[in-house]
A and B are shown apart, each in its own frame.
Chain A
């Protein structure tokens, strides 16, 4: 697996510049690309979320705003320009900072959260060779970077000088830190089986054997634990207690408005995409087509559905389905309480994860000796 950054540097080599200068130059292109991906993702995801919500609630959602006069579907999928209009509205809104707020920290907080999401994208593969930088510790890097955001959340809650924000920040910190553990443990299970932290290697393992979700009953359970935990880590319903709008008004975002609030939104939807891509790469075969689900000896010539471009399609299909499921959760379930959230993490997920880890090790040992 080659990374996009290496490819760009090779491409720019004709200029004859020094390698270190080339890296600095080349890094800007993927950075811009990541930013574009985040913006486009947020735009589309907000629209889809509103539509999904509307249809599940027997409503229509946005129907009126169009792009250059084109409103989209006439009966259901209209209003395609709504998010763009909303984004423009957010950017032109007054930037309100409360009197007694810590102004510097309040300004800093959204950017820390944004940087957390932004840096995570570096190691997220969109297809076989479509990754900014192919770390050999990819999973580890993603877990590490995705928890940077919590610092921003605590800063946002504290600096707003608002009791609701403080409650939201404290809840968020407790929740995110707790749910890192089941996420880490489930991914560790994959790493144990595949024997590598590199996402490319993990997908290659799945190509050689079978998708992780059906590898063994324990990986099957692990997938669901991972998915529910990441729903909690991205603060989505039923785990949206940090921003519980019926209790804490808007949680740690209460005092934010306009552009800064837009950045929170951007990061939230970027995080949703990241965790969904990771789930699809690690558990659902990544860029492998569904033909390779079991690896039951389909001849190589049949594998026409694989390839770099179709690979991107498969990754996004799986990831977007998971994003849809997250939305589906949100419009179906009530919200948990703080202590119940902790109960779920510490008394259900972590014991299951540990048991899983143990049994998977045994399973590997046995299947390794028996089915060799």
Chain B
């Protein structure tokens, strides 16, 4: 419950500014009620729900197979991750222990490509939020190539419905591996270009370093996960800490914010962690791509998904953080209850804590560095 005009927080000199839901940089239909004193912001209240689609209730009326495309639509910038997370949870519910290793390899490869593409958007849009337009188009240009790869595999460019509980919708097309390696060769130098244009730019550093500092304890208390948590110097990554799929086979690091340009946990760190994570994803891809085993990707696909009574909770590291699916089965082909823990929702809740006291421009910066997706927050 909140009041439109709360007299207790508006002093004589303060002004309530309504930012959004139609605003260029609230990353969708987020509305921020900002109490300002001149340029300085004293209180921020995010108001969500403009994109609410009753995802969880809707799932109770859909069979397990039919939920998969809707799960994709939650986080539309990392649809492959959501599909993977959902598939893992249903497999856990069904008790499928082992999948063909070809399935696991393909899943990991596509998930890492998805991580790169999602981080590319995050980086570009963060640049846009602080006023640099060119990095955005460059990152979109490179994301387009990843999407081309995805289209080759799945046929779709944004919402894939490719990873199904128990397997995959299709096998990889024969030319995929070469195309993917070609892309990696092309992409690695591009990261240096982004760094030269944006990351090390003095104005960019001035705008983002030391702004919106999120100390480790604040991040943990608010349940912040993903790159935002790692930006605060906490090396927590489900791929390392609770390895699902076959992540334990690969050698990669978990980059954390080190406060290179300012304090640990500032917006610049949260941004730079994403740049470093793209490099780590490339590392994983370089290991995984040459050693995809042969096999049938649909051999473990259940004929009918009708799990026994029971409930499970499974976690997954998406590009935005820790997504969790709680599914309770009543023995039918539809779940009795499905609950999704959305990472961006928890990440957004910290906004007031870390950006109150800064200026209006900094609220935008901090919001951009948290990298939220409204489809997932409102779901």
A residues in contact (CB < 8 Å) with B: 53, 56-59, 163, 167, 237-238, 240-241, 244-249, 331-340
Known: A337-B207, A337-B362. A57 touches B134 (CB 8 A): yes
Complex partner residue of B138 from A58, A241, A337, CB under 8 angstroms: A58
How many B residues touch the partner, as a band? 20 to 34
Smallest Cβ distance from B127 to chain A, in angstroms? 7
18 A-B pairs whose Cβ atoms sit less than 8 Å apart in the complex: A57-B133, A57-B137, A57-B138, A58-B137, A58-B138, A59-B137, A163-B15, A167-B360, A241-B361, A249-B23, A331-B134, A334-B201, A335-B131, A335-B132, A335-B361, A336-B207, A340-B203, A340-B207
- The answer to whether B345 has its CB under 8 Å from any CB of chain A is no
CB nearest to A57 among chain B residues: B137
Tell which of A58, A163, A238, A337 has the most Cβ of chain B within 10 Å.
Answer: A337
Within 178-207 of B, Cβ neighbours of A (below 8 Å) are at 197-198, 201, 203-204, 206-207
A241 to B39 CA separation, bound complex (whole angstroms): 12
Docked CA distance A353–B193 (Å): 35
Q: Which residues on A sit within 8 Å (CB–CB) of B129?
A: 246
**A249: chain B residues within 8 A (beta carbon):** 23-24
The 9 A-B residue pairs with the shortest CB-CB distance in the complex, in nearest-first order:
A335-B131, A57-B137, A334-B132, A246-B25, A334-B130, A334-B131, A337-B361, A334-B204, A334-B203
Does B128 touch A at the CB level, under 8 Å? yes
Is B9 part of the contact surface with A, judged by Cβ < 8 Å?
Answer: no
The reply to whether B24 and A336 contact each other, CB–CB distance below 8 Å, is no
B48 lies within 8 A of chain A by Cβ: no
Q: A57-B137, A59-B137, A245-B24 are in contact. Are A337 and B359 (CB under 8 A)?
A: yes
Of A56, A248, A336, which contacts B134 at CB under 8 A?
A56
For residue B231, give the distance in angstroms from its CB to the closest CB of chain A.
19
Check B17 for interface membership: any CB of A closer than 8 A: yes
Residues from chain B with Cβ under 8 Å of A336 in the complex:
203, 206-207
A58 touches B361 (CB 8 A): no
Contact check: which of B127, B138, B204, B360 meets A247 at CB < 8 Å? Answer: B360
- Minimum C-beta distance from B222 to chain A (A): 25
Partner of B203, one of A57, A58, A333, A339: A333
A-side contacts of B137, CB under 8 Å: 57-59
Residue of A nearest to B358 (CB): A337
Closest to A333 in B: B203
Chain B residues near A339: list those with CB within 8 A. 359
B141 and A240 contact, CB distance less than 8 A: no
**Is B364 located at the chain interface by the 8 A CB criterion?**
yes
Q: Is the CB of B131 within 8 A of A244?
A: yes
Which residues of B lie under 8 Å from residue A248 when comparing CB positions? Answer: 360
**Given known A58-B138, A249-B24, contact A335–B359 (CB-CB < 8 A):** no
Set of chain B residues within 8 Å of A247, measured between Cβ atoms: 25, 360-361, 364
Chain B stretch 249-308: residues in CB contact (< 8 A) with chain A? none
CA distance A244 to B131 in the complex (A): 7
Q: Shortest distance in angstroms between B367's beta carbon and chain A's nearest beta carbon? A: 10
A334 touches B207 (CB 8 A): yes
